[in-house]
Amino acid sequence: MKLLLVEDNSELAHWIVNLLRAENFVVDCVIDGESADSVLLTQIYDLVLLDMRLPSLSGKDVLNRLRRRRNNVPVLMLTAHGSIDDKVACFAAGADDYVVKPFDSRELVARIKALIRRQSGEKSGCLTCGDLHYVSDTREFRHNDAPLNLRRREHSILEALMLRQGKAVPKHVLLEGMCSLSDETSVDAIDIYIHRLRKHLVESSVQITTLRGLGYILREKEPILA
């Protein structure tokens, strides 16, 4: 999953980016409101972490513009003050949740995961395709009660396919979901990661099928008829 962090404190931003990447999130980071507004016009994110007070354009103004464009991406506001006025301002602008600085890393990650679950409409905390399970609370894939040891980009691609299981996912969507703005990766690299994932899934009851011109689809294997 891909997140956008908008935070002008470089030390805090660096800490948050490292924290979220350790949780297998793909993270873009910008330091001011105008940059955030520009990026949100062209990129698709699963969640935005938005500082309330930013140079050039406030977090509230960024959020107002985002909602006026009918972009309903979940937004978690980062605020330095826990006053009632600040909380009301966050929600009035269209925020989905907020955390008050300084915050605990566990609380931040938990709130992010809760917002993503809410957005996807997932209630059970676990998605299943055949004998492959995806536990949303830990963002872990499991097969036969054992975790699949995936690299970050492999995880991003399988996650995108699992969340859209039964539907074709185009290459460019998989590429955008696994790469940050600073990455230089060709769409052809998707084939390499799909090849690796198929090796991970060879003993499972699911498969990744190529649909020419459409992308890839995750689904259960067809039963072998005697």
Q: Which helix (H) or strand (E) holds 37?
A: helix 33-42
Residue-averaged pLDDT of the chain: 88
- pLDDT bucket at 17, cuts 50 / 70 / 90: very high
- What is the predicted pLDDT for the residue at 124? 54
pLDDT above 80: residue 121: no
Terminal alpha carbon distance of the chain: 41
pLDDT above 70: residue 104: yes
- Number of neighbours of residue 99 by Cβ within 10 angstroms: 17
Domains with residue ranges and CATH for the chain: 2-120 (3.40.50.2300), 126-220 (1.10.10.10)
The tens digit of pLDDT for each residue in 167-225 reads 999 998 898 888 887 777 778 889 999 999 999 999 999 999 999 889 999 999 877 65
pTM for the whole thing? 0.80
Residues near 47 by beta carbon (within 8 Å), at least 6 away in sequence: 1, 3, 4, 73, 74, 75, 76, 112, 115, 116, 119
d(CA 204, CA 137): 22
pLDDT above 90: residue 76: yes
- What is the predicted pLDDT for the residue at 208? 94
Type of residue at 40? L
